[in-house]
Amino acid sequence: MFTIGDFARHGRVSVRMLRHYDAIGLLRPDRVDGANGYRLYQAGQLARLNRIIALKDLGFTLQQVRSILDEQVSAEQLRGMLKLRQSDLREQIAADEARLAHVEARLRMIENEGHMPDEDIVVKRIPPIRVAMLSGLAASYEPEAIGPVIQPLFHELGTRVIGAGLSVGPPFIAYYEDAPDGVVVHAAIQVSVEPGTDYDFEIVDLPEIPHAATIVHRGSMEHVVPTSQTLARWIDANGYSSTGYAREVQIECPGDNVDLWVTELQEPVTK
Partner DNA sequence: TTGCTCCTCACGTCACGTGAGGTGGC
Which residues contact DNA (rule: CB under 7 A)?
Answer: 3-6, 14-17, 19-20, 35-39, 56, 61-63
Residue 39's nearest CA partner among 27, 51, 49, 48 is 27
Which does residue 104 bind out of a copy of itself, DNA, none, counting CB within 5 to 8 angstroms by kind? a copy of itself
In the complex, what is the shortest distance from the CB of residue 58 to a copy of itself, in angstroms, rounded to a whole number? 6
Residue 4: name its binding partner from a copy of itself, DNA, none (Cβ under 5 to 8 Å by kind).
Answer: DNA
Looking at beta carbons only, is 149 or 264 nearer to a copy of itself? 264
Q: Of a copy of itself, DNA, none, which one does residue 137 interact with (CB within 5 to 8 Å by kind)?
A: none
| Least separation in angstroms between CB 228 and DNA | 29
C-alpha 216/C-alpha 265 separation (Å) is 6
Burial 189-206 (b: 16+ CB within 10 A, else e): bbbeeeeeeeeebebeeb
- Is 157 within 8 Å of 201 (Cβ atoms)? yes
Residue 200 CA to residue 134 CA, distance in Å, equals 9
Please say which residue, 1 or 116, places its beta carbon nearer to DNA: 1
Any contact of residue 264 with a copy of itself (CB under 8 A)? yes
| Secondary structure (DSSP) of 22-82 | HHTTSS--SEE-TTT--EEE-TTHHHHHHHHHHHHHTT--HHHHHHHHTT-S-HHHHHHHH
3/160 with CB nearer a copy of itself:
3
CA torsion through residues 6, 10, 14, 20, sign:
negative
Q: Which residues of the shown chain bind a copy of itself in the complex (CB under 8 A)?
A: 10, 12, 42-44, 46-47, 50-51, 53-55, 57-59, 75, 78-79, 82-83, 85-86, 89-90, 92-93, 96-97, 99-100, 102-104, 106-107, 110, 114-116, 119-122, 124-125, 171, 214-216, 218, 251-252, 260, 262, 264
